[in-house]
């Protein structure tokens, strides 16, 4: 992360401290009467830039601001719901979470605060994000437990499906889709993609696909599930390759093949029942989390101010 910060600083990705002080603090949004200020948002944008290395410019500014604001709104909603359910996160737990973050990102003990300070990110914002993550995880686990345990029949069914899936060739692929009326300088874009490892950055900026918000990632796709022109191209590619533009329908696709899975006869790496149960538990929690957050967002009184 230290290296990321230096790159960000040199590249001018971080919003200068002077600009943080120059503008008066404004209320950007209210979430069930709780405020998100302009200072909150600028701190969060700087944290996002530090982690993602996406440059803040005319093309990316609106996208980044909207994404960070949505995350801040979700954070407020998660903390409010956790509090309603009697879930509290102690300062000790937050501190332990920050130490774990340092360990995961190879940051010397106690240095995270200094790195964030240099990147114009107030530590309190980072602590609030950690608190929201911890509280939400605890809430979802609680709700998952009340819905009952995964049954043996569910485990056996999922195990059979997993074994069948592991016999199917598949691709781990990312995409950029550009509509015909915007398809200019495509070969220049391909040249840049082949010389810049940040495919996800270009996808977020240029792709017209719904996958743009996740950096163009499609995840693992089974053979036979993609349009024939795309699959034919993928079969000729090596891992890490970027395709030429491929015309399909009303636009052009540019693909990146991350990895390829080819089943091996008599493979001994089939998942165990314990693996399947862990997968189903995580899947169940993800579904509960997604639905609950969606429901809470619909019920919340959210006011965005210009």
What is the pLDDT, as a whole number, of residue 115?
86
Strand ranges for 141-266 from DSSP E: 170-179, 217-222, 246-248, 251-261
State whether 249 and 193 are in the same domain.
yes
Tell whether 56 is covered by a domain: yes
State whether 172 and 76 are in the same domain.
no
Tell whether 70 is covered by a domain: yes
Overall average pLDDT of the 24-33 stretch:
91
CB-based contacts of 242, cutoff 8 Å, min separation 6: 190, 193, 194, 199, 254, 255, 256
Provide the pLDDT confidence category of residue 147 given band limits of 50, 70 and 90. Answer: confident
Q: Is the pLDDT of residue 28 over 80?
A: yes
Please give the radius of gyration of the chain, using alpha carbons only, rounded to the nearest integer.
Answer: 22
State whether 12 and 128 are in the same domain.
yes
State whether 140 and 24 are in the same domain.
yes
Tell whether 190 is covered by a domain: yes
Using an 8 Å Cβ cutoff, are 8 and 49 in contact? yes
- Pick from 7-11, 94-98, 267-271, 278-282: least confident: 7-11
Tell whether 59 is covered by a domain: yes
Overall average pLDDT of the 179-197 stretch:
86
State whether 125 and 81 are in the same domain.
yes
Q: Is the pLDDT of residue 301 over 90?
A: yes
* Cβ neighbours, 10 Å, residue 235: 12
CB-count exposure of residue 19 (10 Å: 0-12, 13-18, 19+): exposed
Tell whether 32 is covered by a domain: yes
What is the pLDDT, as a whole number, of residue 264?
67
What is the pLDDT, as a whole number, of residue 267?
54
| CA separation, residue 66 to residues 7, 63, 71, 122, 278 (Å) | 24, 5, 9, 20, 34
CATH number for the domain harbouring residue 212: 3.10.50.40
Using an 8 Å Cβ cutoff, are 138 and 82 in contact? yes
What is the pLDDT, as a whole number, of residue 59?
65
What is the pLDDT, as a whole number, of residue 300?
95
The residue with greater pLDDT, 283 or 240, is 240
Q: Is the pLDDT of residue 10 over 60?
A: no
Q: Is the pLDDT of residue 36 over 80?
A: yes
- Pick from 5-14, 76-85, 161-170: least confident: 5-14
Per the structure, the count of domains in the chain is 2
CB-based contacts of 126, cutoff 8 Å, min separation 6: 47, 98, 112, 116
CATH number for the domain harbouring residue 109: 1.10.4030.10
Q: What is the pTM of this model?
A: 0.71
pLDDT digits (tens, 9 = 90+) for 243-300: 999 999 889 999 999 998 887 655 556 677 888 888 888 889 989 998 999 999 999 9
């Amino acid at each position: 992360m230290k290296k990321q910060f230096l790159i960000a600083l040199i590249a001018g990705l971080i919003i200068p401290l002077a600009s943080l002080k120059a503008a008066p603090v404004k209320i950007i949004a209210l979430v069930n009467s709780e405020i998100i200020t302009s200072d909150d948002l600028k701190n969060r944008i700087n944290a996002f830039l530090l982690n993602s290395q996406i440059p803040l410019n005319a093309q990316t500014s609106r996208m980044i601001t909207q994404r960070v604001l949505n995350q801040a709104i979700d954070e407020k909603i998660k903390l409010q719901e956790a509090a309603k359910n009697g879930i509290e996160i102690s300062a000790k737990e937050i501190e332990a979470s920050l130490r774990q973050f340092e360990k995961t990102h190879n940051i010397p003990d106690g240095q995270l605060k200094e790195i964030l300070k240099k990147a114009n990110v107030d530590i309190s914002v980072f602590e609030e994000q950690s608190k929201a993550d911890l509280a939400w995880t605890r809430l979802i686990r609680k709700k998952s437990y009340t819905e009952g345990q995964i049954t043996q029949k569910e485990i056996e069914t999922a195990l059979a499906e997993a074994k069948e899936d592991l016999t199917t060739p598949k691709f781990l692929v990312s995409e950029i889709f550009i509509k015909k009326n915007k398809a200019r300088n495509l070969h220049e874009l391909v040249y840049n993609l082949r010389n810049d490892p940040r495919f996800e950055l270009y996808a977020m900026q240029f792709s017209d696909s719904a996958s743009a918000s996740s950096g163009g990632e499609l995840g693992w796709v089974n053979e036979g599930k993609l349009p024939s022109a795309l699959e034919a191209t993928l079969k000729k590619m090596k891992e890490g390759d970027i395709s030429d533009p491929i015309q399909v329908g009303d636009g052009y696709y540019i693909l990146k093949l991350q990895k390829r899975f080819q089943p091996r006869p008599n493979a001994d790496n089939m998942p165990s029942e314990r693996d399947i149960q862990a997968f189903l538990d995580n899947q169940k929690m993800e579904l509960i989390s997604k639905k609950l957050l969606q429901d809470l967002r619909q019920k919340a009184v959210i006011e965005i101010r210009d």
